[in-house]
A and B are shown apart, each in its own frame.
Chain A
Amino acid sequence: MTESIVYVRDRFLQQEKPPASEKSAYAWIRNNLFASWKDSILTIIAITAIVLYVPKALNWLFFSAVWTGTDRVACLTVEQGGQLPAGWSGACWAYVNDRFVQFMFGSYPRDELWRPLLVLAMFVALLVPFLMPKVPRKGLNALLLLVVFPIVSFFLLIGGVFGLRHVETSLWGGLMVTLIISFVGIVSSLPIGILLALGRRSSMPILKTACVVFIELIRGVPLITVLFMASVLLPLFLEPGNNIDKFLRALIGVSIFASAYMAEVIRGGLQAIPKGQYEAADALGLNYFHKMTFIVLPQAIKLVIPGIVNTFIGMFKDTSLVTIISMYDLLGIVKASFGDSGWITPVTPLTGLIFAGFTFWIFCFGMSRYSAFIERRLDKSHKR
């Protein structure tokens, strides 16, 4: 009766290793590179391409590149009048090294370089805490970065006051100009874009039509026509005899263009806010201004931060177009230096463009990473 046939295991079996076919380098290679015959073909093509071209590219960029030198002779082969062996080809970093200050600041007077450097230091000091979500006092930080900083740096860069030497904008150039144009575009496009977006969502027909026409007209044409408009038509539209600064014209063109795009991004955010939020604000008796600034816009802008950063990235790349209206931003000054008789070699253009491309890439890639980071963070805050 008490005899039981129930078998109870009183100890665990030793855990076995996963089979070698699933958890080994071999298995990983089989599953990720040679899963099917099509995969195998693709992998072999890819490996062949990498083996053929990557060493060549690395060799061109680094191993056979010229790093030091004072003029073009350093980067010329024997046939071209230099010392390098015939058939040599490689990057001429000596040229970038020699022109580096010019690529960064253009023709800004060399003994006044501390001014742009100081502006840069202030910018970094204000921007870094602004970008870190955990640092408190965002309001004060934004005020300093978006209002005080532009005014201070304007006077610091252009001079003419407080005993600073006046530096004409035609002397500005290089990465400095790229950063200034994109920063001004960013700072001015946000408020104008918000106003345009609100105007487009408004129920007043005339206001709405005006905003729609402006936004669609600017978004429908290439930036280059807007820049031409700013540089050629603006002087025509103003008082006869005016002499509006060329740099200012470009800034106005870029700001107009950026505002139209920003308006559409913000409109997307406004549309995503549930109607109940608007109605609740109305029910609380808030007027339009309070409703927008305290209830709707904070939520809407938070929603579209990734879109805003993407617009910034686009704008940063688009600043390179001012090259065409003969201004010397980073790309413009690099391109202008190709004609510099001191450094004319067959490899100069490629080297310069790779340098400029890499610089642009770092900024844009950094911004896109930041955008992805913010997107993940915002995602989390919606999870419960």
Chain B
Amino acid sequence: MALADARTGSGEPPKVSLLYNPALRSVVYQVVTLVVIIAAVWYAWNNVVQNLARANMTAGFGFLNSRAGFDLAQTLISYSSDSTYFRALQVGLLNTLVVAAAGIVTATIVGLLVGVGRLSHNWLVARLCTVYVEVFRNIPPLLVIFFWYLGVLALLPSIRTIFQHLKEDPDAVFFISNRGIYMPAPVFGEGFGVVFVALLIGIVAAIAFTIWANARQRATGQRPPVLWVNLALIVLLPLAVFIVMGQPLTLDYAVPGSFNMKGGMVIGPEFLALYLALSLYTASFIAEIVRAGIRGVSHGQSEASYALGLRPGQATRLVVLPQALRIIIPPLTSQYLNLIKNSSLAVAVGYADLVAVGGTILNQSGKSIEIISIWMLIYVSISLITSLFMNWFNAKMALVER
């Protein structure tokens, strides 16, 4: 009865103190948050201005146009110590991207192999893969970098040994030393651009042919020889153009200089140490992701595909893997992002990546705020672009539900 009274007693809701009004509270909380944030930023900014004034420094990005004055070991674009800081940062960014891309490819391949290996029926292979994963997953990546750099690569033969070796065998073109791996560098002559265009045309044609072949298979049930036609398009077409153009490619061999090898192409020990460490470290995580993904596909799926008459290879490729990919891709994305971020450990061995170059500039010019904001901007952009791409890939792979 009392309940009914309460409901019918008065038409309007009971009066509540403004203090308990959720909307008002929410506004108050947010205003307080905003005020605290603004106060903190203002406080920090004020101090920065004073601190900079004390040190007789100015803020701003104008310094990027001044002369760098330091050399970099690995440069993909033209760079000398007379170039600007901005150019140096570009070199660093490219080096970061190169080592990250190489690391991602290798880590994915090794991780896939090890992950599948852990599920193998072969007892020995499964154990070996487990040992690999458990060892590398539980060691800091920085230590693995040092291990390669100081423990392994530093023990390779010295340049002097290479000189000795060259005297005995003057025709050798490929050397491994503690200063890196030397090999002949390709020098692109006139007309190589045409070969490159031919390669691009070949790739586009191969993609077009694959699409046509898939359509034809759907329509008629016959599959044209995709692999062979694609190989011919991608390899033979550029090769033919290459020969027709008169082989516009020469090799620049590494030859002994006074203290070091001159010419040729060299992969430095810094890059190798970083690349090997990042690949092997990340591969152990990718292996676990792949394993979880494959185990996540129910056994009935592969049995059903055998029942339909698919061969084991086909069952894996057409039934199990597409479903496993749905489980694998999201954590794989974060591993790729981790690898890109871990490439900043380059600074520990002096590989000229974005952080190492930025650190040098920071030490020279003292522009700490600017350099750190450039780092953050670039890394956040790389992370965002990678996540966007992987999200797109994930959406493409996702199960289409009716």
Do A and B form a real pair? yes
A69-77, A164-172, A355-363 - the one binding chain B:
A355-363
Determine how close the nearest CB of chain A comes to the CB of B266; give it in whole angstroms.
Answer: 23
| Complex-state Cα separation, A205 to B27, whole angstroms | 10
Number of interface residues of B (CB under 8 A): 56
Contact with A along B124-158 (1 / 0, CB 8 A): 11001000001101111111001100111011000
Given A42-B125, A221-B376, A233-B368, A360:B143 Cβ within 8 A:
yes
**One of B241-249, B299-307, B341-349 contacting the partner:** B341-349
* A321:B376 contact, CB within 8 angstroms: no
Known interface pairs A32-B123, A321-B345; A364-B154 also in contact (CB < 8 Å)? no
**A224 touching B138 in the complex, CB below 8 Å, given contacts A33-B124, A233-B368, A321-B345:** no
B376 adjacent to A217 (CB under 8 Å): yes
Partner of A320, one of B44, B122, B125, B142: B142
Tell whether A349 is near chain B: CB-to-CB under 8 Å: yes
Contact status of A210 and B33, CB under 8 A, knowing A39-B122, A236-B48, A318-B140: yes
Supposing A46-B124, A239-B47, A349-B154 touch, asked if A360 and B138 sit within 8 A by C-beta, the answer is: yes
Within 8 A of A (CB), among B371-385: 372, 375-376, 379-380, 383-384
A139 on the B face (CB < 8 A): no
CB–CB A228/B372 < 8 A? yes
B121 with A35: CB separation less than 8 A:
yes
- Complex Cα spacing A320 to B142, Å: 7
Chain B proximity mask over A217-251: 1 for CB below 8 Å, otherwise 0:
10111111100110011011111100000000000
Residues of chain B with a CB closer than 8 A to A338's CB: 150
Interchain pairs with CB closer than 8 A, number? 159
* Interface residues of A, count at CB 8 A: 56
By beta carbon, the residue of chain B nearest A34 is B122
Q: Which of B51, B347, B379 contacts A240 (CB 8 A)?
A: B51
Instruction: Give 1 or 0 for each of A352-383: 1 = CB within 8 Å of chain B CB.
Output: 01101100110011001000000000000000
Asked if B365 CB lies within 8 Å of chain A CBs, one says no
Secondary structure dominating the interface of B: helix
Q: Are B383 and A220 in contact (CB under 8 A)?
A: yes
| Highest count of chain B CB atoms <10 Å: which of A39, A223, A224, A317 | A224
* Chain A: minimal CB distance from B301 (Å): 22
Q: Is A140 an interface residue (CB 8 A)?
A: no
Set of chain A residues within 8 Å of B154, measured between Cβ atoms: 349
Q: Once bound together, how far apart are the Cα atoms of A350 and B143, in whole Å?
A: 11
Q: Mark B148-176, 1 if CB is under 8 A from A, else 0.
A: 00111011000000000000000000000
Task: Give the nearest-CB partner of B377 in chain A.
Answer: A221
Show the binding face of B for A, using Cβ within 8 Å: 26, 29-30, 33-34, 37, 43-44, 47-48, 50-52, 54, 120-125, 128, 134-135, 137-143, 146-147, 150-152, 154-155, 341-345, 347-348, 355, 359, 362, 368-369, 372, 375-376, 379-380, 383-384
Subset of 23 A-B contacts with CB under 8 Å: A32-B121, A35-B121, A210-B37, A216-B380, A220-B380, A220-B383, A221-B376, A221-B379, A222-B342, A222-B355, A223-B341, A236-B47, A236-B48, A237-B44, A320-B140, A323-B142, A331-B142, A331-B143, A350-B147, A353-B143, A357-B139, A360-B140, A361-B138
